[in-house]
Structures are given as structure tokens and as C-alpha cells.
């Protein structure tokens, strides 16, 4: 009589710890991470001063190589802070002002809540 072998493979369920946080908390963290480099702040400020911009113009404004600027643009685009459209051989980037306004309101509410205790309730340690 032939033997039947049964192989038991344990099922490992991975749980992302970020799933325990609200969607708004996750979005603020993603945006904060994307803005956590001075070159990306400079890119946002540069785009804010223009209506649209070609990526080559951005590289000319920053003390970075074009490939480095491209990487920073990709980080900003990944969280939808900027949008880019291909026009021939160039990519025109612009700010996603709708998202920026929403994030501004979320950050304002965050800082108001974080500082609402006033100076009398600050930690003494």
C-alpha cells in the first residue's frame, strides 16, 4: 500500500503596523517623509513660483545633478504632491494644489491639537 505524504506549511500573515493608524495619520506621515529633504522643499518652492515647469529648468535652479533632481521629483510625485505630464521629450511638472491645501489643513489641525494644552501644561522633564 503506497504512503501518502502530507506537508503542512504554516501560513504566515504579515500585518503592517501602519494599518493600526488612521488614513489621515498615514497620509501626513507619507507627506512629511517626502518633504524631509531640503531639495524637495526647494522643488516645491520653485514650482510654487511658476505655473508649470520643465524638469530641466528645475535642475538648473538647484545645486544638484539632473539625475538627482529626477529622483527627488519621483519621490514628490509618488505621494502626489506634484504632477507631471509628458510633452514630447520633456516632462512638465506642476504642484497638486488640491492635495497641498488638504495637507495644509491636516497639518494645521495636527499642530493646533498638539499645542492646545498651552504653556502651563508643558512637560517638566
Helices assigned H by DSSP within the chain: 23-34, 38-48, 55-61, 66-78, 97-115
Residues 6+ apart with CB under 8 A from 41: 35
Q: Write down the pTM of the prediction.
A: 0.76
Q: What is the mean pLDDT of residues 25-53?
A: 91
Q: What is the pLDDT of residue 99?
A: 94
- 9 pLDDT band, cuts 50/70/90, is low
Which of 109, 92, 93, 90 is closest to 101 using CA atoms?
109
- 90 pLDDT band, cuts 50/70/90, is confident
Q: Between these two residues, 3 and 97, which has the higher pLDDT value?
A: 97
Task: Give me the count of residues in the chain.
Answer: 125
pLDDT in tens, 59-71: 888 999 988 998 9
Q: What is the mean pLDDT of residues 15-19?
A: 71
Ordered domains of the chain (ranges, CATH): 22-111 (1.10.10.10)
* Contact by Cβ (8 Å): 55, 93: yes
Amino acid at each position: 500500500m503506497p504512503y501518502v505524504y502530507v506537508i503542512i506549511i504554516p501560513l504566515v500573515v504579515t500585518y503592517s503596523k501602519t494599518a493600526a493608524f488612521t488614513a489621515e495619520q498615514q497620509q501626513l506621515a507619507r507627506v512629511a517623509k517626502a518633504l524631509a529633504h531640503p531639495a524637495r522643499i526647494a522643488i516645491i518652492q520653485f514650482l510654487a513660483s511658476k505655473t508649470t515647469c520643465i524638469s530641466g529648468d528645475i535642475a538648473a535652479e538647484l545645486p544638484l545633478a539632473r539625475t538627482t533632481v529626477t529622483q527627488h521629483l519621483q519621490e514628490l510625485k509618488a505621494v502626489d504632491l506634484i504632477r507631471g505630464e509628458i510633452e514630447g521629450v520633456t516632462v512638465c511638472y506642476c504642484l497638486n494644489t488640491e492635495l497641498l491645501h488638504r495637507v495644509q489643513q491636516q497639518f494645521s489641525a495636527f499642530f493646533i491639537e498638539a499645542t492646545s494644552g498651552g504653556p502651563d501644561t508643558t512637560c517638566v522633564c
